[in-house]
Structure formats: structure tokens, C-alpha cells
Structure 1
Amino acid sequence: MHTLVSYPGDAIFIKTKKGHDEIAQRQFGLNIRQRRVLIIADGTKNISAIREVIPKDELEEIISFLAEQGFIAPGENHARKAPATRAEKIVVLESIKNERSVAARHVSFPHSQKRSESSHADEPALLPDAEKIRQVKDFMTTTATTYLGLLGADVIHRIERAKGAAQLMIVVGHWHMALQESKQGNRFAAPYLEQVTAALTGKGEQLEARQA
């Protein structure tokens, strides 16, 4: 049982070595939402920004756990307090929706169906265009090969296995995380994420890999 700590909205956290190791190796058994918060805790977003994609009560629980277990640590107060980007919100929403979908296969919630439908009303519609999805897959595979090398094999396997835009959007989180943690690809991770999410939601056409 860990201690629940309430942090101010302007508090900023960064990954520790243990946090970076968990991102790379997945050895401590974090659940999906814990991993999402760990990914977002990059020293540029304060608690208020992260609340845009994770509910306040749940976020306090996760932040307290990650800090107590040594995955994250308080960052500098003067760090840039960037809001969560639209692309990051989409990836987190799709991950949470996928988690709910898996749970729904085992448990029925008839009384909450209407509420659930309403809660998803503002979520972005994903593109059903098979050709565009293939283009996105090719782009993700190319960038993974370029910046991750042999370490990108698992990511590429996930990309190719994805069936449809919804499954591919879940993989986008893993791909983006891997680019963030790579030496050469981290500076391109954010713009690539914007391009891919825009393409999968029909908001963008061009997918352009940049020079390393």
C-alpha cells in the first residue's frame, strides 16, 4: 500500500533511470495507464497538463505510485510547462478505449452503456481507408528501421500485425515511445506523432521522414 500524495498543478516530473529502464524493458509490470503517465512525464508537462488526458483522482494515485517506486522524480519548477498535444491526447484516449474494450469482453455494464457512449462522443474518428493505413504503416516501419535499428524489430512486428486504424493507433503509442527513447529519433518523435495521428484521423495527408 503506497501513500497517496496530492501534488500542485504546476508540479513537474521527470523519468529516473529506473523509469527509462521500464520504458525500454517492461520489467516491473506497470499497467497501461501507469505506463502512459510515465511516458508523458518528460519534464515539459505539469500536472495540470497531464490531467487533460488522465482523470485527476486517478492521476494522483498513479503519480504517487510512480514517485514512491522511483520511476519518476520532481523536475525543475522553471521547466517549460507545455500542454499535452492533440496527438498525445489521441494516443492516450485510444489506449484507454482499448483497455475498456478488453474489459468489456468479460464484464457487462448495461446501466453505464449510455454514459459510455456519451463519453466517447468527442473522440476523433479514425480513418477506414486501407490505402492510407498502409501508407502510415510504411512510414512507421521506415522510421523505426532508421532510428531504432535492431531494437525496432518488436515495434515493426506490432505495426505489421495491427488490423485497422484503431489497432494501429494503439501501436502508435509504442512506436512514439521507442522514438522518444532513442538517441537519434527523439528529436523527431513529436512531429512524427503529429503526422501519424493526423493521417489516421483524416486531418493530414503528407507523411514526411526527416533527415537524421
Structure 2
Amino acid sequence: MPRPKEFDVNEVLLKAMKLFWQQGYEKTSINDLVEHLGIHRRSLYDTFGDKHQLFLQAVEVYRNFVSGRLEKIINAPSARQGLRTLFDFIIDGMEDKPPGCLVVNMSVELALRDPEVDAKARESFERTEGLITDLIRKGQENGEFTNMRDAGELAAHLHSTMLGLRVLVRTSADQKKLHRIAETALALLEV
């Protein structure tokens, strides 16, 4: 009869998510995981499979975590406020969380050589771009934003800007500069 787990699987996945987010996949060793997660190597393998499988599970935890934040953006009082909140979320980050975006980090590090990571990244990017498109359409319908360009084209541009900002927040870039970049991107939507 298998022994009961001596740890909370969800708590361990949260810790793994944060470690991979901070250090990246390649830099995070099994020893780092065992030490940071506070579980035995055998328990790690028995519960999560190998490092790659643990990473993919941690990415799912991250995506669910971020989805909760995106709900607030979708339900913002105005489309402009929703997009501004999204930019602020990207630039200012969250307390006690690493800067940047785990999905962007994993894409840059692994997507070209790992089809599973590439698929997860594309799915996340498509979901985010779809959210931005919906917000722009909402803004176009209520007169907040220009109708001179297609909402999808504008969303693709804004999303590209957001991806760049997600990389820059992991550097020593000045946050005031990053907010100016966001304001310039939002200015493209003006009527």
C-alpha cells in the first residue's frame, strides 16, 4: 500500500512555479528543486515525473494563476481601463513574485526545441491576444477607440509591445520609461 504524501502537492507546484519563473528551466537543477521544494528526490519523481513534467505542471499553475488576474481586466469598467490595467500588471508585477512572465521566459529559453513548450506558449499568447482584441472591439463599439484599424491588427501590435515589456521588466530598465512605452502604445487606439 502506498504511503500517504507528506506534503501538499499544490503548495509544492506553487514553489516549483516560482523557482522556474525566477531561474528558468535550464538553470534549475533537480538538486535546486529538491532543496527549494522541501521534498525528497524520490517523492519528486514519484509525484511529478521528471523535471520536464514538473515544469509543464508548474506552467499550468502559472497560467491558472494569471487567468484569475485577467478576469479583473475583462470586467474593467471601460476597455481603456482594462488595457491600462493589463499594462500596469505587466510592468509593475506582483508583490513577492519574480518580474516578467514565466510563459515569455520559457518561450525564449525552450520553444524552438521543445514542441510541448512551444504549444503551451502559442496557446497562452493566442489567449492573451484574443483578450486584447475583445477589449479593443469593446472600445471601438462604445467610441473609446478608433475604428480606423482592425481590432485584431491593433491587438497584435499591443500584444507585441506587451511581450517586449515582459522581457524588459527582467532588466534594470526604468519603470517610468516602461510606462511611457505603454502610454504610447495605448495612444494608437485614440479616436
Same structural fold, with TM-score higher than 0.5 when normalized by the shorter chain? no
TM-score, L = length of structure 1: 0.31
In terms of Rg, which structure is larger? 2
Q: Which has the higher helix share?
A: 2
TM-score, L = length of structure 2: 0.33
